[in-house]
Amino acid sequence: MFSRRAFAPAFRAATRATRLPSATAPRFLTPMQMRMLSDDMRQAIDKAVASAPVVLFMKGTPETPQCGFSRASIQILGMQGVDPEKFTAFNVLEDNELRSGIKEYSEWPTIPQLYVDKEFVGGCDILMTMHQDGSLAKMLEEKGVLVPPENDAETPK
Amino acid sequence: MAQSTTPMEDAMRAKLTEALKPTTLEIYNDSHLHSHHKAMQGVTSKETHFRVVITSDKFKEARMQPARHRMVYALLKDELAQEGGIHALQLKTRTLDEEERQKQKEQAE
């Protein structure tokens, strides 16, 4: 259903390249330090958010989500018919800096988080509400991120 | 001193009630459903996963859902940030009108 492009290596490359020398960073940070989002991280997340029209920050990968809320979000995007070509998922479990960084960046304390056209949409509950009331379908349609309808499909009866 | 067995829920209820004056406030502790979950290894708290239904006219100040959720997150900032604190928070944030309308819709169906 939503199989390809499990994890864009672009982000990992981007974050690795711009990452501060973490070897010198203290292993344990105070809450205050943890809350500071470095410029490098912010830039890396800017890039990640812009890497596709639809971007999901999640736990695990679309094939093997590691959290029920991430799984539900992927399922909703799949049901909506989001074009895999226009979708990228980032696994926050692979990068602790990203995991805390994205929370700060979005001012949103939980994962998953959905971005469409670089705009924060919400987490799993908001996705679910929008899925149910039709506003998600409307938005995705307007943004042109759905799989194009097949011309050779059966003619409606 | 008698200690509450649900300190987190109590704190949430107190903060949400005070700030939002909700007409409906339901707090469900779903933590037991997630205790096997890998991220919960080593976490002893029985209060990690919550589902909260809030109806408050304070939400009239913010029409969009993300803004409403952020209002709640801001109120529960400490509980979300602390080690072994709230790990997952499902939210239903409605105004009184919205709640009424949805109830009518559900009954009509």
B66 touches A: beta carbon within 8 Å: yes
3-state helix, strand, coil in chain B (%, to 5): 50, 20, 30
B70 touches A: beta carbon within 8 Å: yes
CA quadruple B69, A126, A37, A30: dihedral sign: positive
Reduce the DSSP state of residue B11 to 3 states and report it. Answer: helix
Per-residue pLDDT for B42 more than 70? yes
Distance CA B14, CA A12 (A): 42
The per-residue pLDDT for B94 is 96
Query: Which residues in chain A are contacts of B88 at CB distance < 8 A?
Result: 69, 110
Which residue in the set A68, A109, A122 is minimally distant from B65, CB to CB? A122
Look up the ipTM and state it.
0.84
- B90 CA: distance to closest CA in chain A (Å): 6
Q: Structure pTM?
A: 0.80
Average of per-residue pLDDT across A63-67 = 92
Would you call A69 and B88 a contact, using CB atoms and an 8 Å cutoff? Answer: yes
B81 touches A: beta carbon within 8 Å: yes
The per-residue pLDDT for A151 is 61
CB B16 within 8 A of CB B25: yes
- The more confidently predicted of residues B65 and B39 is B65
The per-residue pLDDT for A15 is 36
CB B88 within 8 A of CB B51: no
- In total, chain B counts a number of residues equal to 109
Band the pLDDT of B72: cuts 50, 70, 90. very high
- The more confidently predicted of residues B36 and A125 is A125
Q: What is the mean pLDDT of chain B?
A: 93
Which residue in the set A31, A122, A125 is minimally distant from B90, CB to CB? A125
Query: Which residues in chain B are contacts of A68 at CB distance < 8 A?
Result: 34
Per-residue pLDDT for A12 more than 50? no
- A147 CA: distance to closest CA in chain B (Å): 26
The per-residue pLDDT for A150 is 73
Over residues A19-44, the pLDDT tens digits come to 333 434 444 545 555 556 888 899 99
Residue A73 forms beta bridges with which residues? none
Average of per-residue pLDDT across A95-123 = 95
Per-residue pLDDT for B37 more than 90? no
Reduce the DSSP state of residue A128 to 3 states and report it. Answer: helix
Which residue in the set B34, B39, B81 is minimally distant from A31, CB to CB? B81
The per-residue pLDDT for A30 is 52
Q: Where are the alpha helices (DSSP H) in A6-95?
A: 9-18, 31-34, 39-49, 68-80
Pick the closest to residue A127 from A61, A54, A28 (CA basis): A54
Q: What is the mean pLDDT of chain A?
A: 80
The per-residue pLDDT for B41 is 85
Percent of chain A with pLDDT over 90: 68
Would you call B73 and A108 a contact, using CB atoms and an 8 Å cutoff? Answer: yes
- In total, chain A counts a number of residues equal to 157
Band the pLDDT of B32: cuts 50, 70, 90. very high
